[in-house]
Amino acid sequence: MKKLSVNLLLFFLLSSILISEFISTSIDFSQDGLHALLNVFLPLIWGILSAMFLVPAFLSVKEVYFRKILIVLCIVSNLIFGTLLKTKYSSQESPVKEDVLLNNKAVNDFHLVSDRHINVNGAGVKVEVINDFSSNDYLFFSRLSDKGRKILSKKKNAKFNIKDHGLVTIRIENNSDKDLTINKAVFLKNDLWKICRINNLNVDESAFPITIGVNNFAEITLNFTADIFEKRARRVGWNALFKLQWNLLRYTKSLNCQSDLLSSCITVRNELILYTQDKVFKRLYLNGLWQYRAEGDWEPDLQKILTNLNFKTNVGFKYFDNGSNGDATISNSDEIAASYFERVSDTTGVKIIQLAAYHAFNSLNEDDALKFFYKGDKTAITLFNNEPGAAQLLLPRMLVKPSVNFISFYPQKKFGFIMGSSSTDRMKNYKNKIGVRVWKAINLKGEELKNSYIIACDFIGQPRTNYDYQDNVYLVANVRPFGDEQKKLIIIDKKNVDIASVKK
């Protein structure tokens, strides 16, 4: 140690902080995205505190030898701390125990009459997600935290109930020639989702086993409670951590920092397994997006939104458009330049599904409206508005039909879209900026969806313009885009992709 100078040891101290950070973050972030934040920030905080400790220590200790010992102790403590964080994170259950909704009480029969007509299509059982889209195997949820809802509800402009997409219902039709008994429902991870209703009856785990009669059905509603995250969000330490994360995101924008570590929105995945006797009857995959606070830099980025909805579309950025500020399309991404569209098939309409809405929480206004206009016309026609309060969630519903999140229309010639202050024709926007970006829609298999595109807007020319392009996000089908910069598109035919509508 005599050969090591104090300055060299101080350099090693700084290096130990970085090494500790590297060790603690060498983990699988998908295991528990929220808890992983501790592994990101605590090594840095611990390292800074250890360095600060040396200042008064040096003032009281004059001998160089003992100063060196203090520095070495700080170096060792940093490395040990990073290792302990990694070990704790890797060893936690977080949580993987099965949450079994099962008891040995008498079977409850669900032979209730419904006004909905059941199509009996022969022997077999049909499982359908009745208020979501895309697949009967994947269910999509979003939730604004209780704390975030409380803060948002206190704002003057929060005049309506705050909507989220926390409830999704599956419908099991029994078209076989004998009763179907579901013995148990198992969540792979605890304290994230609950079964809250069966056929609109408020039930809990005591409802299982259930029997579905011949040519009858059961509708099971799942609630994304995110209890694990909600409990953490009530603690002072976690609140401080979220605030630190939010400030880092704000102040690193000038550096084009797009790290996932700066997002306070957590993607969580789970599985619900339905059993008949001891056999797996149906495995459902649950995707949840939990949001700590609402609006501004608290919102989920567009890439996270699309990933959560099982799109593999490469947006090309996360929180903002790489400093382009709406002046150019993003290179090395799936974005295309398109000002207008035309209908591909004359026998079917253009179908639009709203994927997300993350904008200011206002009453009904232009922010909530999707309009279209014909090329060369000055008049725009409103297609639909979101229902009031649907401003911070996935898959928002329509105002006129709250149980629906899609619309079909039949344009007769080339047309563009308008969302708030932004148009697909950038020549109509503030300073000719890109207000609506267009991407090829790519599914979970990596296939391009034929004649389908994702369009998303940022409200250009507004005081809060931040170029995040997730204020309103839509999937548009049966269209062919074109524009001055449009390049030839290579479309891969998509097989067995069901863009399922939400029906009453």
pLDDT (tens digit per residue) in 15-61: 999 999 999 988 877 667 777 778 888 898 999 998 898 888 887 88
For strand 167-174 and strand 216-224, is the pairing parallel, antiparallel, or unpaired? antiparallel
Q: Are residues 191 and 268 in the same domain?
A: yes
Residues 394 and 355 sit within 8 Å (Cβ to Cβ) = yes
Q: Are residues 51 and 132 in the same domain?
A: no
Which residues fall within 8 angstroms of residue 34, CB to CB, at 6 or more apart?
Answer: 228, 229, 232, 266, 290
Q: Which two tokens stand for residue 448?
A: 């391009």
User: What is the C-alpha to C-alpha distance for residues 361 and 464, in angstroms, rounded to an integer?
Assistant: 13
Q: Is residue 504 part of a domain?
A: no
Q: N- to C-terminal Cα distance for the chain?
A: 76
User: What is the C-alpha to C-alpha distance for residues 203 and 218, in angstroms, rounded to an integer?
Assistant: 13
Q: Are residues 203 and 261 in the same domain?
A: yes
User: What is the C-alpha to C-alpha distance for residues 256 and 318, in angstroms, rounded to an integer?
Assistant: 10
- Quick check: bond before 209 cis, omega within 30? yes
- Could you read off the pLDDT of 405-415 as tens digits, one per residue? 678 899 999 99
Q: Is residue 492 part of a domain?
A: no
Last residue of a domain, one of 91, 118, 153: 91
Q: Are residues 339 and 420 in the same domain?
A: yes
Provide the CATH number for the domain around residue 201. 2.60.40.10
Question: H-type helices in 309-361, by residue range?
Answer: none
Which stretch of DSSP H or E encloses residue 37? helix 36-60
Last residue of a domain, one of 59, 91, 123: 91
Eight-class DSSP state of 361: -
Eight-class DSSP state of 190: S
Q: Are residues 46 and 158 in the same domain?
A: no
Q: Are residues 255 and 391 in the same domain?
A: no
Q: What is the pLDDT of residue 431?
A: 94
Torsion angle, alpha carbons of 196, 200, 201, 203, to 10:
-10
- Identity of the amino acid at 498: D
Domain that holds residue 225: 99-296
For strand 210-212 and strand 108-110, is the pairing parallel, antiparallel, or unpaired? parallel
User: What is the C-alpha to C-alpha distance for residues 172 and 100, in angstroms, rounded to an integer?
Assistant: 20
Q: Is residue 503 part of a domain?
A: no
Last residue of a domain, one of 296, 325, 344: 296
Q: What is the pLDDT of residue 114?
A: 31
Q: What is the pLDDT of residue 362?
A: 60
How would you class 500 by CB atoms within 10 Å of its CB: exposed for 0-12, middle for 13-18, buried for 19 or more? middle
Q: Are residues 123 and 269 in the same domain?
A: yes
Torsion over CA: 501, 121, 113, 140 (sign): negative
pTM of the model as a whole: 0.81
Structurally, the chain folds into a number of domains equal to: 3
Q: What is the pLDDT of residue 375?
A: 93
Q: Is residue 74 part of a domain?
A: yes
How would you class 165 by CB atoms within 10 Å of its CB: exposed for 0-12, middle for 13-18, buried for 19 or more? buried
Q: Is residue 177 part of a domain?
A: yes
Q: Which residues pair with 357 in a beta bridge?
A: 393, 472
Q: Are residues 363 and 344 in the same domain?
A: yes
Cα 86 to Cα 26, 75, 363, 460, 486: the distances in Å are 7, 17, 46, 43, 48
Q: Is residue 51 part of a domain?
A: yes
SS3 helix, strand, coil % of the chain, rounded to 5?
Answer: 25, 30, 45
Cα 451 to Cα 160, 259, 447, 489, 502: the distances in Å are 37, 32, 12, 10, 21
User: What is the C-alpha to C-alpha distance for residues 65 and 85, in angstroms, rounded to an integer?
Assistant: 31
Q: Are residues 142 and 26 in the same domain?
A: no
Cα 201 to Cα 107, 181, 196, 198, 219: the distances in Å are 15, 18, 8, 5, 10
Query: Which one, of 261, 305, 296, lies nearest residue 393 by Cα?
Result: 305
Q: Which two tokens stand for residue 478?
A: 């049966």
Q: Are residues 154 and 215 in the same domain?
A: yes
Query: Which one, of 220, 256, 12, 213, lies nearest residue 110 by Cα?
Result: 213
Residues 195 and 186 sit within 8 Å (Cβ to Cβ) = no
Q: Which residues pair with 219 in a beta bridge?
A: 171
CA atoms within 13 A on the CB side of 467: 18
3-state secondary structure of 126: strand
Q: What is the pLDDT of residue 131?
A: 63
Q: What is the pLDDT of residue 277?
A: 79
User: What is the C-alpha to C-alpha distance for residues 70 and 61, in angstroms, rounded to an integer?
Assistant: 10
Give me the residues of the chain with pLDDT under 70, please: 1-2, 30-31, 92-123, 131-135, 155-160, 261, 361-367, 400-405, 483-504
Q: Is residue 491 part of a domain?
A: no
User: What is the C-alpha to C-alpha distance for residues 225 and 219, in angstroms, rounded to an integer?
Assistant: 19
Q: What is the pLDDT of residue 432?
A: 95
Q: Are residues 248 and 271 in the same domain?
A: yes
Give the number of other CB atoms < 10 A from CB of residue 346: 9
Torsion over CA: 83, 85, 89, 92 (sign): positive
Q: What is the pLDDT of residue 243?
A: 84
Backbone angles phi, psi at 340, to 5 degrees: -140, 165
Q: Is residue 498 part of a domain?
A: no
Q: Are residues 272 and 374 in the same domain?
A: no
